[in-house]
Structure 1
Amino acid sequence: MSSRTPRECIDRALDESADEETRSAAIRELKTANECDELEALVRRESLDERYRRQALEALATPQCDSTLRELVREDPVGGSLQDDAAALLETVEGN
């Protein structure tokens, strides 16, 4: 993990003036640091381009973030096209 804080990573992921690699790298940093709540916030942010929301969702597919992923599916569904993807990812994580 870089020396960036989770807040700085979120800001980079949300920065529309940043290039795609910078934004994606910020999401990967959040995954590496197991920042499940921050990744969830990105998934739920409807104003964020869907490709970054999807990357954040996929980053949640780890044993460390399974409860957060479960919340997106069952307790407080994310809705839309990401809902099916979240359910499939949860099945994958729970199957391991």
Structure 2
Amino acid sequence: MSSRTPQECIDRALDEATDEETRAAAIRELKTANECDELEALVRRETLEEQFRRQALEALATPQCNSTLREVVEEESLGGSLREDAEELLATVEDD
């Protein structure tokens, strides 16, 4: 991970004044650092644009974040296509 803290990455990902690539890079940094709880918080944040919520969800589809992804699916807190994507990602991770 860069010299940024997880909180700095979250702040960057949430900052609507920041360009999309920088926001996406912040989410990738969280994935690289296996910051599962922080990624989960972004996925659940309804005020965050769906593209970034989806990117954070996809970042949870790793062996290190498998249990966090399972929690997101089991709690049924996501709606619509994001929930369906979470279920598919979980099935993919568990099959590996």
What is the TM-score when the length of structure 2 is the normalising length? Answer: 0.97
For 2:38 and 2:71, the matched residues in 1 are separated by: 14
When the two structures are aligned, how many residues end up with a matched partner? 96
SS of 2:18's equivalent in the other structure is coil
Q: Which stretches in structure 2 are left out of the alignment for 5+ residues?
A: none
For 1:38 and 1:51, the matched residues in 2 are separated by: 16
Partner of 1:92: 92
What's the C-alpha RMSD, in Å, of the aligned pairs? 0.8
CA contact (8 A) 2:10 2:27 kept: yes
Q: Which runs of 4+ in 1 moved over 6 A?
A: none
Partner of 2:44: 44
Q: Which stretches in structure 1 are left out of the alignment for 5+ residues?
A: none
Per-residue Cα deviation, 1:58-83 (whole angstroms, up to 9, x for no partner)? 00000000000000101353223210
Percentage of identical aligned residues? 78
Partner of 1:2: 2
Partner of 2:67: 67
